[in-house]
């Protein structure tokens, strides 16, 4: 029998959606590429992060916060089902500041967001003294921090592994190392998906969550899918005993002990390699925050490609020409995993609990 849903793409976005659909009792097949595919879900920073998101797009800030606030329950349920520990910590996070002027500008942006959203915004302003109490290893130039109360981090590889495990435990089919080459909708309203071996899969509905692969596949179902790659380079040090209390957007101590560093953004096409110039720049910024890192041994570095829309915000779009096909694309798939799992199934099924995703439609481009 055909599954109700085919999900094209088995990264964190496709897997969060597949898991959410299976929990609601829908049959799902996930089709995912192989090791040579671009896979942001295996190279990212692992932040579950609200701060700085949607400062000029309040609806994105609100959507992000909704997911961040649902993350604890999402993680608990996933861990109970799979027996895996995905190491979620939501004890807040830092946005370290080096100049009073920049700090004031950021505070103004948060205050504006608060006004527009008509809600409180979970941030605190810490001076150097207070920052030192929490993180005694900060460098002399850090003047303070904007503390994001709801920020946190997770082990993104363990998250992905747990999601794939959950999909299988709930009876979903996960087909890896296949390349989807053709998508169409038949007269009988069935979606046909052809992979490079010639094999075909059919379903009633289809979710295109193929990351950068959506740019090629999307037009076959009437989507614009205007996403492009943006490279991020990341470093990780040798393991340390617990030394950093909380993550920042640039530096975090992972659950295994290494200190992960990285926040670069480069437009270099489909090129995920690392460069000595950028790794040096990243390391320099990190040392300004935590000088002890100047003595750390870097054990690994990698590059990975973000999936970026023209305005940087997610795209949630049902196809106008092939209804029942949905495009889901975003550049914060870890942060948004809880909402993708909990709420997107309602959107696909048009239930009364469907979130209003109108403003994220690709008609805006
Ligand atoms: C350096 C870096 C740091 C980041 N840090 C964070 C962070 O801290 N927090 C956060 O929330 N987000 C972060 N992100 C973003 C996050 O990683 C992505 O939003 C997320 O991984 C996107 O998931 P995805 O499933 O859409 O895409 P991907 O992980 O790229 O997965 C797409 C999948 O589709 C498959 N696919 C593509 N084409 C085809 C095809 N033709 N046939 C079959 N399968 C296909 C591929 O095999 C792949 O597995 C970061 C990203 C990068 C690069």
- What local confidence, expressed as pLDDT, does residue 1 receive? 78
How far is the centre of ligand 1, averaged over its atoms, from the C-alpha of 119 (Å)?
31
User: Is the C-beta atom of 150 inside 6 A of ligand 1?
Assistant: no
- Ligand 1 centre from 9 Cα, in Å? 9
What per-residue confidence (pLDDT) applies to 71?
98
Decide: 43 in ligand 1 pocket, CB within 6 A. Answer: yes
Report the half-sphere exposure of 364 (CA within 13 A, side-chain side).
Answer: 15
Closest of 283, 236, 280, 243 to residue 258, by C-alpha: 236
pLDDT at position 35? 85
CA angle 306, 333, 45 (to 5 degrees): 65
125 CB burial (10 A radius; 0-12, 13-18, 19+): middle
**Cβ proximity of 81 and 166 under 8 Å:** yes
User: For the chain, how are helix, strand and coil distributed in percent, rounded to 5?
Assistant: 35, 25, 40
Q: How far is the CA of 58 from the centre of ligand 1 (A)?
A: 24
Of 236, 241, 234, which Cα lies nearest the Cα of 296? 236
In ligand 1, the atom with minimum distance to the C-alpha of 42 is 29
Q: Among 216, 246, 301, 333, which is best to mutate for testing ligand 1, by the most ligand atoms less than 8 A from CB?
A: 333
CATH fold of 5-80+156-225+311-364 = FAD/NAD(P)-binding domain (3.50.50)
Strand order through the sheet with 144-148: 93-97, 144-148, 123-127
> Do the beta carbons of residue 314 and residue 360 sit within 8 Å?
yes
Q: How large is the greatest C-alpha to C-alpha distance in the chain, in angstroms?
A: 68
Return d(Cα 195, Cα 320) in angstroms, integer: 24
Give me the pLDDT at residue 187, please: 85
Closest CA to 266 of 305, 214, 215: 305
Q: Which residues contact 292 (CB under 8 A, 6 or more apart)?
A: 137, 243
Contact 293, 287 (CB under 8 A): yes
Considering only CA atoms, which of 235, 221, 247 is closest in space to residue 327?
A: 221
Residue pair 252/259 in contact by the 8 Å Cβ criterion: yes
At residue 95, the 3 state secondary structure works out as strand
Ligand 1 pocket, 302 CB below 6 A? Answer: no
Where along the chain do its domains lie? Answer: 5-80+156-225+311-364, 93-149, 228-308
The per-residue pLDDT for 119 is 85
200: left (phi over 0), alpha (psi -120 to 50) or beta: beta
Phi-psi region of 52 (alpha: psi -120 to 50; beta: other; left: phi over 0): left
Query: Which of 8, 9, 177 has the most ligand 1 atoms within 8 A of CB, as the residue to mutate?
Result: 9
Token look-up 């946190």 returns 152
Which atom of ligand 1 is the closest one to the Cα of 47? Answer: 8
Tokens linked to 70: 């649902």
CA of 197 to the centre of ligand 1 (A): 24
- The whole-number pLDDT of residue 206 equals 98
Read off the tokens for 25. Answer: 């009792």
Residue pair 249/93 in contact (Cβ under 8 Å)? The answer is: yes
Ligand 1 and 9: CB distance under 6 A: yes
| pLDDT tens column, 15-60 | 999 999 999 999 999 999 988 888 999 999 999 999 999 999 999 9
Which two tokens mark 286? 């990190």
Give the DSSP letter string of 172-224. Answer: -EEE-S--EEEEEE-TTS-EEEEETTS-EEEESEEEE--GGGHHHHGGGGT--
Can you list the residues of the chain whose pLDDT is less than 50? none
Q: Is 330 near ligand 1, meaning CB less than 6 Å away?
A: yes
In CATH, what class is 228-308? alpha beta
CA-32 nearest atom, ligand 1? 44
- Whether ligand 1 lies within 6 angstroms of the CB of 335 is answered as yes
274 C-alpha to ligand 1 centroid (Å) = 18
Tokens 């480069």, residue located: 266
Burial level of 78, CB count in 10 A (0-12/13-18/19+)? buried
């Amino acid at each position: 029998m055909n599954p109700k849903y085919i999900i094209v793409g088995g990264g964190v976005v496709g897997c969060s959606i597949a898991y959410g659909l299976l929990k609601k009792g829908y049959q799902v097949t996930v089709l995912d590429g192989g090791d040579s595919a671009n896979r942001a879900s295996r190279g990212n920073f692992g932040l579950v992060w609200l701060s700085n998101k949607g400062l000029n797009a309040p609806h994105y800030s609100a959507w992000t916060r909704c997911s961040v606030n649902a993350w604890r329950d999402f993680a608990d349920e996933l861990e109970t089902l799979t027996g895996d520990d995905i190491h979620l910590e939501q004890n807040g996070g830092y946005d370290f500041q080096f100049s009073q002027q920049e700090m004031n500008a950021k505070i103004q942006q948060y205050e504006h967001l608060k006004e527009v959203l008509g809600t409180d915004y979970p941030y605190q302003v810490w001076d150097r003294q207070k920052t030192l109490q929490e993180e005694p290893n900060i460098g002399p130039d850090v003047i303070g921090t904007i503390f994001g109360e709801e920020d946190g981090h997770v082990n993104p590889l363990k998250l992905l592994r747990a999601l794939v495990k959950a999909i299988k435990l709930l009876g979903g089919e996960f087909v890896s190392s296949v390349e989807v080459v053709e998508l169409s909708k038949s007269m009988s309203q069935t979606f046909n998906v052809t992979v490079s071996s010639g094999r075909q899969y059919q379903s009633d509905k289809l979710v295109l969550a193929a990351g950068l692969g959506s740019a090629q596949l999307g037009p076959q179902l009437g989507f614009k899918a205007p996403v492009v790659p943006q490279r991020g380079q990341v470093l990780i040090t040798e393991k340390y005993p617990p030394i950093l209390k909380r993550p920042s957007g640039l530096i975090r101590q992972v659950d295994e002990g290494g200190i992960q560093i990285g926040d670069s953004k480069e437009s270099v096409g489909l090129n995920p390699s690392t460069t000595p110039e950028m790794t040096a720049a990243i390391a320099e910024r990190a040392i300004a925050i935590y000088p002890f890192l100047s003595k750390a041994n870097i054990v690994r570095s990698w590059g990975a490609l973000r999936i970026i829309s023209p305005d940087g915000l997610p795209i949630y779009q049902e196809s106008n020409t092939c209804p029942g096909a949905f495009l889901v694309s975003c550049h914060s798939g870890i942060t948004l995993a809880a909402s993708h799992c909990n709420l997107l199934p309602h959107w696909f099924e048009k239930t009364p609990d469907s979130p209003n995703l109108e403003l994220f439609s690709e008609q805006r481009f």
